[in-house]
Structure 1
Amino acid sequence: MMNDTTVTEFILQGFSDELEMRIMSAVLVLFIYLFALLGNASVIAAVTRDSHLHTSMYFFLKNLSFLDMCYPSVTVPKVLASSLAGSNVNSFWEWMAELFLFVTLCALECFLLTSMACNRCLAIHRPLLYGIMSRKLCYELVVAAWLSGVLYDIFHTINTFSLPFCGPNIINYFFCDSSPIMRLSCRDACAIEEVRFVVVGCVILGVCALTILPYVLIIANVMQIHSAGGCQKAFSTCSSHLVWVILFYIAGSFAYLTPTAQYSPTEEGPSSHPA
């Protein structure tokens, strides 16, 4: 029978109960994490040292690389600890702080990708107006992205932690996220889940549309270029960014546009709320 005692700490079980699997998972995650840190640090160093790269496009790229170093660092160290130890105890406030930082940084990346797309669209679609993209405006766009990410995450965190949570407090998951903890709610979370689904859906789809639209304009503009070299140059400046945008939003949609009631970190895990 479900224990209805309100809990103040949560235990993450990590990837597996088997020690060998935990060690293999930790090594793999550590390798990917260090590779990501090294790659993004190299981009930041190159852009900082080369004066020819002190343009708005590389300014946004440097901020994106810094961001891609930050938000894995919020979760990966604790993932490694839980993988090696077999469990990871988190207090209510630790879980809230980690979730707040993680969602803020993820939301910030959405808004920063939109700024980068608009910057590329202005450079290719309206090159005569590209002069307005001053360093001051670039800083303002980055600050606006940070503020938007924080404001969105304030809603997300309050929406998640407005519920009371009951035991058992053992979660078969590997980092502090909203979906697994909402399944521990003592009462029906359908209304809160619906609000979260609508808001997250509107934000992700809205920002995604604002990011994809500039590339539609870019492609339409490039198709009018008769020079093969001009087409190749135009596509080379934005193709890698477009691929990253598509992968980022596909992964985010699968992860956060799935109702919590259908969410289960393992195939055999229960997905019902306590009565």
Structure 2
Amino acid sequence: MAVSNQTIVTEFILQGFSETPSLHLALFCIFFFFYIMALAGNTLIVVTIRQDSGLHTPMYFFLANLAMLDIGCTTTVLPKLLENLADKKSIPYAGCMTQLYFLTWFLGAELLLFTAMAYDRYVAICHPLHYTTMMSRMVCILLAGSVWTISTINSSVHTGLMIQLTFCGPNKINHFLCEIPTLLQLSCTSTYLNNTMVIIADIYLAVINFVLTMVSYGFIISSILKIHTTEGKKKAFSTCSSHLIVVIIYYTTVIYTYILPGSGSSTDNVKAVAVLYTTVSPAVNPLIYTLRNKDVKGALRKLLVRWFSF
């Protein structure tokens, strides 16, 4: 089948990181370590929160959702990356679209979830007397459900529009994954509608949610500064500092990739940034949240003691 005397693409070639075979083994070991670390750490967080009744609060409910999203994100990308480093660089067209769908889904959901988590911390610190009412079980379920639903719709729209495009060569993706910016560069048909929807999604998912998150933390910091005791300030800030660290890292990398793709950034820089939000962030998030949180550390310690006592 041909379009304008060119063959329709049935598979893509992911060029990955390096054409030097001697580096592949080292990279394989590094990414395999991060993958196991991400799976183990985030699974442990989900199990710990589920098993410990003391962690059945809105903050940890959202943290469990974040852990599940991190598992999904890293599982969408790393198995194929490891396969790529084992010299299987091709990915079928359907496989590429599937990876695009799930990656877009999980990335969008994390941006929305960060806003929900920021709102939870805002209510907890700025309106503590009304916290149980404003963050009731039903409110939490509605917020989490909205996060998953909106991100699913967003991903379906982008993937549906991508499927409508024609790819008739070249089929080499100078990246280690299938994502919107790199695929649009390979299309031999108009990408105007795709680019328009990307801009709309960027404004809503990244810009607006980032502003809402920062506004929430503006109110939070203002309230913390009004606390008279040093111990009170430390306790209040400790409940939101971990989340703020994760938000800053994540938004920085996503904005660099999706909002500033034409800023002159080199391909190597784009790949390095993609590693941060698909590999490093899911792996270190459990460490950030557990090492800075006494409740999680205590619950985790009890869970491990229970497991190893059998």
**TM-based fold match above 0.5:** yes
Give, in whole Å, the separation in 2 of the partners of 1:233 and 1:145.
28
Normalised by the size of structure 2, how large is the TM-score? Answer: 0.79
> Secondary structure at 1:174's aligned position in 2?
coil
Asked whether the 8 Å contact 2:15–2:172 carries over to 1, the reply is yes
SS, match of residue 91 in structure 2? strand
What is the SS of the residue equivalent to 1:167? coil
Instruction: Name 2:80's counterpart in structure 1.
Output: 78
Which consecutive unaligned segments of at least 5 residues does structure 1 have?
Answer: 268-275
Who is 1:141 aligned against?
A: 143
| Residues 7-45 of structure 1: CA deviation (Å, up to 9, x unaligned) | 122121322222221111111111111112222122222
Which consecutive residues of structure 2, in runs of 5 or more, have no partner in the other structure?
270-310
CA shift, 1:250, in A, is: 0.5
Give the whole-Å Cα distance in 1 for the aligned partners of 2:49 and 2:159.
35
> Where do 1:105-116 residues align within 5 Å?
105-116=106-117
Partner of 2:131 in structure 1?
130
What is aligned with 1:272? none
Instruction: For residue 223 of structure 1, report the CA deviation from its aligned partner.
Output: 1.1
1:200 Cα deviation (Å)? 1.6
Matched, 1:169 2:150: no
Contact between 1:197 and 1:259, CA under 8 Å: does it hold in 2?
A: no
Count the aligned residue pairs: 265
Give the % identical residues: 35
User: Is residue 221 of structure 2 the alignment partner of residue 216 of structure 1?
Assistant: no
Partner SS for 1:238:
helix
2:247 matches 1:255: no
1:55 corresponds to which residue?
57
Structure 2 contact 115–209 (Cα < 8 Å) conserved: yes
1:13-92 equivalence runs, <5 A: 13-85=15-87, 87-92=88-93
Which structure carries more helix by proportion?
Answer: 2
2-structure distance, mates of 1:71, 1:153: 13
Q: Deviations over 1:119-149 (max 9, x none)?
A: 1110110112111212222122111100110
Indicate if the aligned counterparts of 2:10 and 2:92 stay in contact, CA closer than 8 A. Answer: yes
Post-superposition offset of 1:262: 5.6
What is the TM-score with the length of structure 1 in the denominator?
0.89
Distance 1:137 1:209, change over 3 A: same
* Structure 2 counterpart of 1:129, one-letter code: H
C-alpha displacement of 1:163: 2.2
Structure 1 counterpart of 2:105, one-letter code? T
Distance in 2 (alpha carbons) for counterparts of 1:30 and 1:119: 34
Distance 2:9 2:205 in 1: 31
In terms of mean alpha carbon deviation, does 218-227 or 257-266 score higher? 257-266
Structure 1 pair 154–261 and aligned structure 2 pair: CA distance change class (3 A)? farther
